[in-house]
Amino acid sequence: MTRYTELAERFGTPAYVYDLGRVAAAKRDLFAALPEELHLFYAAKANPHPELVREMCGGEGRGCRPEISSVGELAAVLEAGADPADVLYTGPGKTEEELAEALTHGVRLFSVESPGDLRRVGAVADRLGVIADCLLRVNSASATASTSIRMTGVPSQFGFDSETLPALRDELVGVAGTRVAGAHFFPLSNAKDEASLIAEFRHTIGVAAQLQEELGIPFRFLDIGGGFAAPYAVAGERPVYGTLRAALAESLDAHFPGWRTGAPRVACESGRYLVGDSGTLLVGVVNLKESRGRRFAIVDGGINTFGGMSGLGRILPVSVEPHGTDAPPEQIASLVGPLCTPGDILGRDIKLPALAPGDVVAVPNAGAYGPTASLLMFLGRPAPVEVVVRGDEVLSASRIQHTRGYEYGRGTR
């Protein structure tokens, strides 16, 4: 019996297993790849489980700062013990209610996407008698590296078009309740290799320096984004970046000579790289069938369990590791979930062992974009169990609870 079959028997399936030892290792590797003066934001959307956030922001070694995009993520990072003063609040649709809650809890750093977003932050901050430091998120007119997800250089709900910012300068610096503190870039996700990542960072730093000069606003804070790669739902190892530290330092020295002493403070951000390989998804085989010459292995967790990115077409096909069977891969079949929709597919025509009902299969590198990125409410099935371990020690097991049914109110005539 393997460790995963033991956990599946103990807690049931579907289940996620998160190893905090792997979180600590990823954090250590990424900090080692960056100049020691840089801050590192953890994008809570990748996995907001409080125990993972606690390991990320505290734990061994240096700690990350939380980057959030909702009051739900704010609650998670506060439960994990994060300092609200360390939080960066991002997102294009921040409402006044959300802003009031964040500011009341002590969040003071916001990424703003447009003049209207800046005014909204300012109105709430001014009403509460505080000042919000705002980073202008920049949608650069150009980019360099190729990537699976391009976040800049195209029309977007994210960020100010870089070519429009100089003309907006006076409008942006005069908003009550706010202070323009610097700029925020996030040009790409999942760079194809280290050379591409370095090229994109160099481009971003150059654009930021030019923008600072055009605006005439000394940046106190500069977030240059991320793009760190990691395998997702397939076997493989995340890269270790050996030349990034020197390349970043060289570029920052050239464009922002005071960065080593905090003028400006510089940050990167990451999500999947930091938590992706900490997680394994365990699903149980429910049924096997053939239909018009194709095989299907039906498991008890589908897009309701691991579906956020699958629904966007970004993870097909997954790879699986068998547990509870010694049979080698010997057939091609589709791995499908239990939902009554043909879209409930985790892997289409992939290599699978000779499975039987009751077997457990594991999806590796599944620590990011799991339950909270999935269709948890669809068909009212329970959320997967989330088991947190450190090595062989089980630290906790929990399940996200969602309300079943509806609360009806009386209408008025």
List, for residues 331-387, the tens digit of each pLDDT value.
Answer: 899 999 999 988 898 888 888 888 999 999 999 999 999 999 998 888 889 999 999
Question: 3-state SS string over the chain?
Answer: CCHHHHHHHHHCCCEEEEEHHHHHHHHHHHHHHCCCCCEEEEEHHHCCCHHHHHHHHCCCCCCCEEEECCHHHHHHHHHCCCCHHHCEECCCCCCHHHHHHHHHCCCCEEEECCHHHHHHHHHHHHHHCCCEEEEEEEECCCCCCCEEEECCCCCCCCCEEHHHHHHHHHHHHCCCCEEEEEEEECCEEEECCHHHHHHHHHHHHHHHHHHHHHHCCCCCEEECCCCCCCCCCCCCCCCCCCCHHHHHHHHHHHHCCCHHHCCCEEEEEECHHHHHHHEEEEEEEEEEEEECCEEEEEECCCHHHHCHHHHCCCCCCCCCEEECCCCCEEEEEEEECCCCCCCCEEEEEEEEECCCCCCEEEECCCCCCCHHHCCCCHHHCCCCEEEEEECCEEEEEEECCCCCCCCCCCCCC
Please count the CA atoms within 13 angstroms of the CA of 310 that sit on its side-chain side: 27
Q: Model confidence over 92-121: pLDDT tens digits?
A: 999 999 999 999 999 999 999 999 999 999
Decide: 57 and 65 in contact? Cβ < 8 Å: yes
Q: Which CATH architecture is the domain 5-11+277-399 placed in?
A: Beta Barrel (2.40)
Answering whether pTM is above 0.85, one says: yes
Say what percent of the chain tops pLDDT 70.
89
Average pLDDT, the chain: 90
* Amino acid type, 364: P
pLDDT digits (tens, 9 = 90+) for 137-172: 998 866 554 444 545 545 457 678 888 899 999 999
Question: How many percent of the chain have pLDDT more than 90?
Answer: 73
48-73 pLDDT per residue, tens? 999 999 999 987 789 999 999 999 99
Higher pLDDT pick, 254 / 319: 254
Flag the least confident range among 25-29, 59-63, 129-133, 290-294: 59-63
**pLDDT (tens digit per residue) in 230-251:** 998 889 999 999 999 999 999 9
What integer pLDDT is reported at residue 155 of this predicted model? 44
Residue ranges of the domains in the chain?
5-11+277-399, 34-270
pLDDT higher than threshold 70 for residue 305: yes
What was the pLDDT predicted at 60?
78
> Which superfamily is assigned to 34-270 in CATH?
Alanine racemase (3.20.20.10)
State both tokens at 191. 């760079």
